[in-house]
């Protein structure tokens, strides 16, 4: 009896969502198979890799490779332009972390100006990531969406606490794409998507951030949540879980000790930069294998590697 492959393409699909405009616009999602399962059916839109640029500028560069790469950049805008040259990068993620009221508390106006300057300087699609303070983020996303109308940006993210404001401004008033972020929990993810849809946000304008964790740090919850979301969309045709998924990786991995413990304190661990890169790569590869349609990374070497992985599997 010869081997007989049973293929498993589904009738349902992940929604295809386009970010950005012009030649550099990207589309994520659209597949009707599990991640990388090109043998079951062709995958139209390979996953994409984005570059995280913090509004803290060079402060983000905690390892030599990052410092060297961005050397000579005087502004965050310079860094964003430079980031576009990274091999494998498809979009830029401006992380407005300094807006946090418990941190530098950068004003909404300054955030908007920076976002506008970055958007004007780059040609790749722009993702704007907030500071995690739900009230401040709601304000920022409202103004940024207004200022960048027509740029087809993605705001990260609307959450349970502020989805009405963010959905109404970014999604309804200014036609941007809305990120829907929930803790690592499939029921919460579905609920938030449902509420955004009920608000009137087009299902095709929603991208999920179903939560993230660094490899080794409770990643099992992320792995199973991603598996279950994808299976729900494909096998059950659950329209409220059919949104493509974007997973911020670097914001998680650069917080764990493997990435921040200097070699001087942990000589047996070797180079801190190498550890930070491998942690980013391992986590990103796992997220893509689970169902992320886009990942956000920091180190040019990680970005190049993950892009090469995606290319090799498509």
Partner 1 sequence: MAVKGLDIFKLSPKTNCKECGSPTCMAFCMKVAQGAVPIEQCPHMSDEAKALLSEATAPAMKTIKIGAGDAEITLGGETVLYRHDKTFVSKNVFAVPVCTCMDDAAVDAKLESLKKIDYERIGEREFVESIYVHGEGDKIVDLAKKAAATGRVVIVETTDVDAAKAAIDAIKDTKPVLCGATKDNFAAMNEIATAAGIALGVCGDSIDDIYDTIKALEDAGNKNLIINVTGADVKETLKNAVFCRRGAIKDSDKSLGYPSIVNLSRLAKGDLHLQTAFASLFTLKYGSIIVMEDMTMAEALPLYGLRQNIYTDPQKPMKVEPGIYPINGAGPDDPCILTVDFALTYFLVSGEIERSKVPVNLLITDASGMSVLTAWAAGKFSSSTVKKFFDEFDIASKINNRTLILPGKVAVMKGEIADKLPEWNVVVGTREAVEIVKYLRDGEYVKAAEAAAASKADAPKAEAKVVDENAPLDFERIAASIPEIKKVDMGVTYKTRNVDSQKFITIGERIHCISPTIKAAFDNWDPEPILKRAAEQIAAGATYLDVNIGPAESNGPELMTWAVKLLQENFNNVPLALDTANKKAIEAGIKVYNRTNGKPIVNSADAGSRIDNINLAAANDAIVIALCSADGIAKDNEERMMHCHKMLDLGMSLGMESDDLWFDPLFLVVKGMQDKQMDVLNAIKMFADEGLKSTGGLSNNSNGAPKEVRPIMDSTLVAMCMMQGLTSAIVNPCDKRLMETIKSADIFKNNELYSDSYLDM
Q: How far is the CB of 245 from partner 1 (least distance, A)?
A: 15
Q: How far is the CB of 248 from partner 1 (least distance, A)?
A: 17
Question: Which residues of this protein are in contact with partner 1, per CB under 8 A?
Answer: 1-3, 5-6, 8, 36-39, 185, 187, 214-220, 223-224, 227-228, 231, 256-258, 268-271, 274-275, 277-279, 281-286, 289-290, 301-302, 305-306, 308-309, 312-314
Judged by beta carbon, residue 177 or residue 228, the one nearer partner 1 is 228
Distance between CA atoms of residues 274 and 265, nearest Å: 15
Judged by beta carbon, residue 17 or residue 186, the one nearer partner 1 is 186
Q: How far is the CB of 168 from partner 1 (least distance, A)?
A: 22
Q: How far is the CB of 65 from partner 1 (least distance, A)?
A: 12
Q: How far is the CB of 117 from partner 1 (least distance, A)?
A: 32
Distance between CA atoms of residues 245 and 229, nearest Å: 9
207 DSSP β-pair partners: 179
Judged by beta carbon, residue 37 or residue 104, the one nearer partner 1 is 37
Name, in order, each residue with C-beta under 8 angstroms of 29's C-beta and a sequence gap of 6 or more: 13, 14, 15, 16, 17, 45, 243, 244, 293
Q: How far is the CB of 281 from partner 1 (least distance, A)?
A: 5
65 DSSP β-pair partners: none
Judged by beta carbon, residue 99 or residue 309, the one nearer partner 1 is 309
26: helix, coil or strand?
Answer: strand
Distance between CA atoms of residues 173 and 201, nearest Å: 10
Q: How far is the CB of 58 from partner 1 (least distance, A)?
A: 22
Distance between CA atoms of residues 88 and 22, nearest Å: 18
- For 189-218, letters b (16+ CB in 10 Å) and e give bbebbebbbebebeeebbbbbbbbbbbebe
Round the CA-based radius of gyration of the chain to a whole number and report it: 19
Judged by beta carbon, residue 169 or residue 253, the one nearer partner 1 is 253
Nearest to 295 by CA among 177, 233, 214: 214
Q: How far is the CB of 43 from partner 1 (least distance, A)?
A: 11
Judged by beta carbon, residue 200 or residue 255, the one nearer partner 1 is 255
* CA within 13 Å, CB half, 280: 30
93 DSSP β-pair partners: 52, 127
Distance between CA atoms of residues 176 and 241, nearest Å: 20
Distance between CA atoms of residues 136 and 101, nearest Å: 8
Q: How far is the CB of 219 from partner 1 (least distance, A)?
A: 4
Cβ proximity of 277 and 214 under 8 Å: no
Judged by beta carbon, residue 120 or residue 164, the one nearer partner 1 is 164
Judged by beta carbon, residue 33 or residue 207, the one nearer partner 1 is 33
Judged by beta carbon, residue 116 or residue 217, the one nearer partner 1 is 217
């Amino acid at each position: 009896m010869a081997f007989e492959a049973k293929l498993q393409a589904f009738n349902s699909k992940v929604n295809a969502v386009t970010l950005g405009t012009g030649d550099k616009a990207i589309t994520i999602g659209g597949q009707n198979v599990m991640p990388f399962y090109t043998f079951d059916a062709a995958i139209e839109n390979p996953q994409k890799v984005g570059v995280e640029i913090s509004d803290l500028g060079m402060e983000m560069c905690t390892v030599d490779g990052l410092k060297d790469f961005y050397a000579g950049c005087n502004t965050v805008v310079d860094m964003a332009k430079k980031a576009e040259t990274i091999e494998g990068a498809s979009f830029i993620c401006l992380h407005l972390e300094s807006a946090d009221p418990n941190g530098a508390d950068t004003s909404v106006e300054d955030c908007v100006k920076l976002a506008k300057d970055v958007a004007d300087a780059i040609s790749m699609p722009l993702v704007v990531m907030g500071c995690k303070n739900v009230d401040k983020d709601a304000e920022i996303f409202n103004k940024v969406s207004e200022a960048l109308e027509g740029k087809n940006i993605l705001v990260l993210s609307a959450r349970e606490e502020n989805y009405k404001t963010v959905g109404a401004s970014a999604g309804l008033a200014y036609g941007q794409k809305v990120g829907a972020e929930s803790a690592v929990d499939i029921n919460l993810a579905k609920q938030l998507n449902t509420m955004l849809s009920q608000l009137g946000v087009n299902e095709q304008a929603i991208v999920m951030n179903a939560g993230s964790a660094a490899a080794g740090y409770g990643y099992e919850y992320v792995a199973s949540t991603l598996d279950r979301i994808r299976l729900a969309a494909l096998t059950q045709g659950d329209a409220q879980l059919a949104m493509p998924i974007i997973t911020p990786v670097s914001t998680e991995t650069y917080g764990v000790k493997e990435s921040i413990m200097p070699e001087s304190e942990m000589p047996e661990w070797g180079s801190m930069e190498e550890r930070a890169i491998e942690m980013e790569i391992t986590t990103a590869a796992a997220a893509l294998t689970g169902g992320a349609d886009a990942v956000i990374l920091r180190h040019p070497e990680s970005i190049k590697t993950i892009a090469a992985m995606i290319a090799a599997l498509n």
